[in-house]
Structure formats: C-alpha cells, structure tokens
Amino acid sequence: MDAYIVEWLNLLGRWVHFITGIAWIGASFYFIWLDNLLQAPQQAGDDEKGVGGELWSVHGGGFYHSQKYQVAPPVLPETLHWFKWEAYSTWLSGMFLLVLVYWYGAAVYLIDPSVADLAPRAAVGLAAASIAAGWIVYDLLCRSKLGENDTLFGVVLFMVVSLLAWGLCQLFSGRGAYIHFGAVLGTIMVANVFFVIIPGQKRMVEAARRGEAPNAQDGVTAKQRSVHNTYFTLPVLFVMTSNHYALTYNHAYNWAILIAISLAGALIRIYFVARHKGRASLAPVIVAIILLAGVAAMIAPGTTAASAGSVAFADVRDVVRQRCAGCHSDAPTHPAFPAAPAGVVLDTDAQIEAEAQRIHQQTVVTRVMPIGNLTNMSENEREIIDRWYQSMEFR
C-alpha cells in the first residue's frame, strides 16, 4: 500500500478515534459521577414509583432533574436513549489504527529483534491472541466466585495485568508492547459493554415491556463492569499518548514503568470515584504521586562525562546519512514514510547541527532511534554521536 495513502488513513483513523474516545469516556465519567451523587427522592410518591435516587444540576443555562429507578419504572417511556455506539466506535477506530500501524507495519513498529526476533506474521498472531486472551481471562475471573469479592478481585486482576505488561514487553518493541497493553484493556472495556452491559439492559427492558419485574442482578452486574471500565480509563489514556515518550517505553524496565503508571492512573480514578460520594481519603492520590515520582527518578538520565577523544563532523555526517536520513529527509527513501517523521529533516550539515540535542536524545539517551534499529546503528556509531554532542563544539 502506498505510504501516502497509509499516512492519510492514519490521520483520519486517529481523528475519529480521538473524537469517539472523548464521547465514550466523557459519558462513562458522567454516569459514574451521576450514580455516586444521587440523593434520596424528595417528592411524595417517588418511592412508590420505584425511584431510588435523584439529582438536580444546572448546565448551559438550564436546570436538569435526573432520577434513577431501583430496577425499572412501572411504564417504560416511548423514547429510551442507549449509550453504546460511543464504545463501539472507539474500539473499531482503535483496532483500525492498530491494524494499520502496528500490524501492517509490524516490521517497523511492532517487532524489535533485540527483544524477540519474530517474523511479522508470528508477531501479529501473538498480538491478536493476547487481545483475545485478555478478555477471556478477565471475563472468567468476573464470573467466578472471585468476582463476588471486589477487593480480592482487584488484587488478582492487578497481578494478571502486571503479568500481561511484562509478557508483552518480552515479545514486542516497547512501543508495540505498550499499545497492545492498552488494546487489551480497551477490548475488555468494550466487551463489557457488548457482551454484558447492553444484553443485561435489553433483558431488563424486555421484561418491563412484558409487565414483568426485571432481574435486578442484570443491573448489579452491569454496574460492576461499568465501574471496572472507569478504573481502566486512565491507564488506557496514558497508553494512547505513550508513543510520544520514548523515555518510558524504551527503558530497560519498560514493563515496570507501564505497571507503575497504570496503577497510578487507577488509584487517581479510585480517589475521584470515592470523592463523588463525599469526603474521600487522599491516600490513593498520595500513593499515585509517590509512584509517578519514583518512576521519574528511576528513569532520569544520569550525568555522563564527555567521551574521550574528539570526533570529526564528517564522521557524524556519515552516521546520520547512513542510519537516519533514509526517513529524516525531504525525500525519504524508506517505503513506510512519505514524509520525514515529526518534520525532522537531516539532509544538510546545518540541519544536523540544529537537531543535535534531539539526535543525541533519541539515539544515545533513549536509544529509540532508529526506530526498531531498522538501519542497524552500531554501538560505535552511537558513541560517535555521543562524543560529538558532548564536545559542545556546535553549541
């Protein structure tokens, strides 16, 4: 497929994914907030009608009165709004991007021979299997006796996703591992909607329309899965932006960093969910801050002395032209890139010197470039870049 077409598909798919993701997560956050702030109904007769809680709010110059029934109203309204396509559209657009970027471009973005020397088909097969297995294991845990104990379930689930993070980082490039970790969590979230929440709601609606009492357990199960989803949101959002931060996914302990930041996100969400209900302990936020500070301290680059010996700029130019300019050029020769990534062009000496800090950061400090080391930059060549940068002759 022509790289230019792939680039446009990437742009449009990412735009759709971003928009639908806002709609889904916004709706999820709103309903969790609404459910946790409901108060006992004040109007006479509401109890008899089955109203379990209500909330008054003001927005956009108007007043809103929301009521939640304990199970279902005596008579269903003619128009009933469902919330599902936000979730489905987010997952479909996300999978489109995953296939386009990480599966179609597996040799560039998914495989790192220094981690595991996989053939593209094998890598894609393992990636797809991890997504499917993630949902199956999670769903089985929820349906087991373990699912009846929220605290114990949370501990076991954390252990499972930690194992997932570690395993993915042993198979794929750091960037590929991170995005597939997010894909597993995102698939669990949308599968909760498709296989559990919506079917349960449909059964409740059909029972109410037949004049029968709906099974309250459907509502309980749907709420449990919805709460699980809200704790997954911040880890998934981190993963969506992580490809911009090589200092995390390209670190030797990238799996530990992924686990720590995901746990911090879940803890922050735990605090806000509790805060909706009233006064909440700051302990989850404090632990999250400690985790993030610990990660920042752990991955901070050390101060290194300048490498011994000078280096001729001609040597630097040769390294850049052989290892970097195939992509970072006004006319890239690599078939995967129709234009220079991030707009970084390294065709001339002046352009190389202008990007010196970025070149050093990406090839020596984070070692994320060349991406997947496609051009086989050697340790000696990285040392040349390091010695050149540390010499400060260009600054």
> Based on the domain organization, do 216 and 179 belong to the same domain?
yes
> Based on the domain organization, do 180 and 266 belong to the same domain?
yes
Go through the chain and tell me how many residues it has: 395
Kindly state whether residue 84 falls inside one of the protein's structural domains: no
Helix (H, G, I), strand (E, B) or coil at 333: coil
What pLDDT, on the 0 to 100 scale, is given for residue 39? 93
> Based on the domain organization, do 354 and 222 belong to the same domain?
no
What pLDDT, on the 0 to 100 scale, is given for residue 309? 64
- Could you list the residue range(s) of the whole structural domain that residue 45 is in? 38-69
Cα–Cα distance between 164 and 167 in angstroms, integer?
A: 5
What is the DSSP code (8-state) at residue 303?
P
Q: Among the residues of the chain, which ranges form H helices?
A: 3-37, 46-49, 85-97, 120-143, 150-171, 174-191, 198-209, 216-242, 246-249, 254-276, 283-299, 313-323, 349-354, 356-360, 379-391
Question: Residue range 46-75: average pLDDT?
Answer: 92
> Residues 123, 115: contact at Cβ < 8 Å?
no
> Based on the domain organization, do 138 and 279 belong to the same domain?
yes
What pLDDT, on the 0 to 100 scale, is given for residue 301? 76
From 53, 69, 85, the end of a domain falls on: 69
> Based on the domain organization, do 264 and 202 belong to the same domain?
yes
Long-range contacts of the stretch 145-152 (C-beta < 8 A, 24+): 147/224, 150/224
Question: Residue range 193-197: average pLDDT?
Answer: 97
Kindly state whether residue 79 falls inside one of the protein's structural domains: no
> Based on the domain organization, do 52 and 163 belong to the same domain?
no
> Based on the domain organization, do 361 and 238 belong to the same domain?
no
Is residue 338 over pLDDT 90? Answer: no
Amino acid (one-letter) located at 362: Q
> Based on the domain organization, do 62 and 125 belong to the same domain?
no
> Based on the domain organization, do 176 and 238 belong to the same domain?
yes
Kindly state whether residue 191 falls inside one of the protein's structural domains: yes
What pLDDT, on the 0 to 100 scale, is given for residue 1? 61
Is residue 392 over pLDDT 60? Answer: no
Kindly state whether residue 251 falls inside one of the protein's structural domains: yes
Q: Which comes out higher in pLDDT, residue 208 or 141?
A: 141
Kindly state whether residue 380 falls inside one of the protein's structural domains: yes
CA distance to 242, 254, 347, 380, 390, per residue, from 322 (Å): 28, 28, 11, 14, 21
> Based on the domain organization, do 376 and 254 belong to the same domain?
no
Going 112 to 333 to 247 to 12, the CA torsion angle's sign is: negative
Confidence label for 394 from pLDDT (cuts 50, 70 and 90)? very low
> Residues 116, 172: contact at Cβ < 8 Å?
yes
Give per-residue pLDDT as tens, 184-193.
999 999 999 9
Kindly state whether residue 65 falls inside one of the protein's structural domains: yes
From 299, 325, 356, the end of a domain falls on: 299
> Based on the domain organization, do 326 and 286 belong to the same domain?
no
Helix (H, G, I), strand (E, B) or coil at 173: coil
> Based on the domain organization, do 163 and 226 belong to the same domain?
yes
Kindly state whether residue 5 falls inside one of the protein's structural domains: no
Give per-residue pLDDT as tens, 270-323.
999 999 888 899 999 999 999 999 999 999 876 555 555 678 889 999 999 999
For the ranges 162-171, 198-207, 332-341, the lowest mean pLDDT is seen at 332-341
Amino acid (one-letter) located at 114: S
Kindly state whether residue 164 falls inside one of the protein's structural domains: yes
> Residues 362, 319: contact at Cβ < 8 Å?
no
Domain count, the chain: 3
> Residues 207, 214: contact at Cβ < 8 Å?
yes
Give per-residue pLDDT as tens, 2-57.
778 988 999 999 999 999 999 999 999 999 999 999 999 988 889 888 999 999 99
Q: What is the mean pLDDT of the chain?
A: 92
Long-range contacts of the stretch 242-247 (C-beta < 8 A, 24+): 242/175, 242/178, 242/179, 242/182, 243/175, 243/178, 243/179, 246/174, 246/175, 246/362, 246/366, 246/368, 247/299, 247/365, 247/366
